[in-house]
Chains A and B, each alone.
Chain A
Amino acid sequence: MISRRQFLQATAAASVIASASGLGPLGRAAAQQRLSQADISRFDALGRLTILHITDVHAQLMPVYFREPSVNLGVGEANGKPPHLTDKEFRAHFNVAAGSADAYALTSDDFVSLAKNYGRMGGMDRIATLVKAVRAERGDDNVLLLDGGDTWQGSWTSLKTNGQDMVDVQTALKIDAMSSHWEFTLGHERVKEIAEKAPFAFLAQNVRSLEWQEPVFEARKIFERGGAKVSVIGQALPRTAVANPRWMFPDWEFGIREDDIQKQVDESRAAGADVVVLLSHNGFDVDRKLASRVKGIDVILTAHTHDAMPGVLKVGETILIASGSHGKFLSRLDLDIRDKRVAGYRYKLMPVFSDAIAADADMKTLVEKIRAPFAADLSRELARTDSLLYRRGNFNGTFDDLICDAMRSERDAEISLSPGFRWGGTLVPGDAITFEALANATAMTYPNCYRTEMTGEQLHAVLEDVADNIFHPDPYFQGGGDMVRVGGMGYSMDVSKPVNQRISGMTELKTGKPIEAARKYVVAGWASVNQNTEGPPIWDVVEKYLARVKTVRLEPNTSVIVTGA
């Protein structure tokens, strides 16, 4: 941990380096910024109630680099609207200065030089510091801490402890309630076990038993905070059974269940709630639509799509909050409640700059204790990277290019497919690729790297199916993550077209020849939702590849041509 003083010195030094190395105006401007814990947590309090929101931590106990997307297209009504803005458009909309700390945290361009200046973000010990500071300022009885889910998956320690590491952290943070998605990939028995034992509420109004359509979890809970009754309704990812292996929770059904949310809202009001909060894992565009159709929700705490917005978005009377991912941000929303309604609000997306925020000693100790048994694996250096390795973005990321290269090489395949997950950290040029870094991009409970044959026609159908899950103009029909990443093959996509008309120009990159519809290609991939998928875990495949290449150098991927956006 760098102290604040050291941080300032480091920043000053970076400033010199920046000008000396000709990083340009962005690098210099960035390096001239000054940041402190006080700047990050400074807030002009309003009313008595504070809601804190953290989401999509993906089991990141430690600070990480996480590059926000440079491509994040909105379709239909979401086209060109926040959060579907990147870089310059994003900064213009939210009035963020290029090269500033906020620009580094929220946008992707100039990431490498800004990362050098501003350092890693997140870390549960830093988040604990911010949470404790808000509780101390406002009083425990006035603060509600809500976790939007995707908390128990995404690291080696969470995989090895079946999510127990994160449950212990959530318990220590004293979260009040959580929502869910990747949690279900621990299997139904484990989820039930945690939900029943945990000191926080596991809320999911939209999970039903398949046979009898009975609720599986508590739908909502009323908390008395800040002199108000706050009803929190939980919503799991509606597409969990489609996006992830249904066989891991075979007796459960999901869905949006809009009418049931309305019922929960109405029942909350009837039970005397002053404020109704949807702790959602729907994804931003689904929540935007839902807010226009379900009446009486005061606040939707969005998740799933990993969007971070430094301001709220209002749909009618409903406030939508987007708190980012990987522990990069903690949202604070103060509500002024008068006459059983929200009379005013004030919001801040607090960026968790790990070099500016002191570590909370108790949480630091807990995190060290969790990691200790896995220290040798976590620190093992597999290779080094000369390139920026990142995943997040609609079409491709260099970390996925690496994984796709590894699969084609180690599994002797012509074409490789890697799922468009939104989780996984970023490495900057010069970084060691440790096993921990690899696990942060791959750790999950169905990691087998399969090898199979598919015809060109079948590959086309797969790309069309996944594309429709992202770019269906009605968000209620969207299914999961970003576009599947493809190795060894290029293609064009017209985002504006309907299903089965978006993908064209599929080309084998090695030969430059068009993919033939009837020919069979050897395909490797991982994270199949099929039960009993055979093959080594993906991290073994990538580790073997890295042991051979030793240094990763990746050219920018230009094999996907996108139009119609």
Chain B
Amino acid sequence: MPSMLRDGSRRDVLAAGGLAALAALLAPRMALADEKAVEAEIKKLYGEKKLESGRIKLDVPQIAENGLVVPINVEIESTMTADDYVKAVHVFADGNPQPGIVSYRFTPECGKAAAATRMRLAQTQNIVCVAEMSDGKLYSTKSEVKVTIGGCGG
């Protein structure tokens, strides 16, 4: 997907009323992150290490029903034994004021590497998830969440 980032027009519309439903959730004028900001965050943590695909089950809605509280569930496939477990999971958003959403740290005692929370999303954007395994391997996936003005339904 191309980046969904745009200038401030979207926020102005939403604040204008009329069809706008999401005015309340939008931050006042401030710079929003982008794909590069997310890449930079990942680099800060893991340098140039390769990101592989797979193992991550990232469950976010295709369309947010309420951008203020968007549910996210993430689960990493792992035996969670002393010699093979998930060490950390980081979640980023490429269209919020700050790219960082949440970081989780796991030990083999956790039994499984799964977590759920709610996040606030300012606009349609990608949610990026990175998982660090005990052997140092990194896995990554991303999923787009659409934040829409709403209305006009069927």
Residues on A lying within 8 angstroms of B by beta carbon are 150, 181-182, 210, 213, 237, 239-244, 246, 253-256, 283, 304-305, 417, 419-423, 450, 452-455, 457-458, 460-462, 465-466, 468-469, 472, 474, 476-477, 479-481, 484, 498-500, 523, 525, 527-530
Contacts and interface: CB of A to CB of B under 8 A. Distances in A.
Contacts of B63: 239, 242, 477, 479
B2 A498 contact: yes
A156 B17 CA distance: 28
B153 A243 contact: yes
B18 interface: yes
9 contacts: A239-B63, A243-B153, A246-B65, A246-B150, A453-B16, A455-B16, A472-B146, A476-B62, A528-B151
B110 interface: no
A450 B18 contact: yes
Contacts of A283: 154
Contact of B18 (A181, A241, A468, A528): A528
A283 B153 CA distance: 12
Contact of B152 (A150, A420, A454, A457): A420
Contact of A529 (B69, B124, B151): B151
Contacts of A452: 16-18
Judged by DSSP, the binding face of B is loop
Contact of B150 (A237, A421, A454, A529): A529
B65 to A, nearest CB: 4
Interface stretch (B7-15, B35-43, B86-94, B125-133): B7-15
Interface residues of B, number: 30
A92 to B, nearest CB: 28
Nearest to A421: B154
A479 B146 CA distance: 10
Contacts, number: 126
B153 A465 contact: no
A379 B140 CA distance: 63
Contacts of A525: 18-19
Contacts of B10: 461
B148 interface: yes
Nearest to A460: B9
Contact of B9 (A457, A474, A529): A457
Nearest to B66: A246
A304 B9 contact: no
A202 B4 CA distance: 39
A457 B9 CA distance: 7
Contacts of A181: 154
Given A181-B154, A458-B12, A528-B151, A500 B6 contact: yes
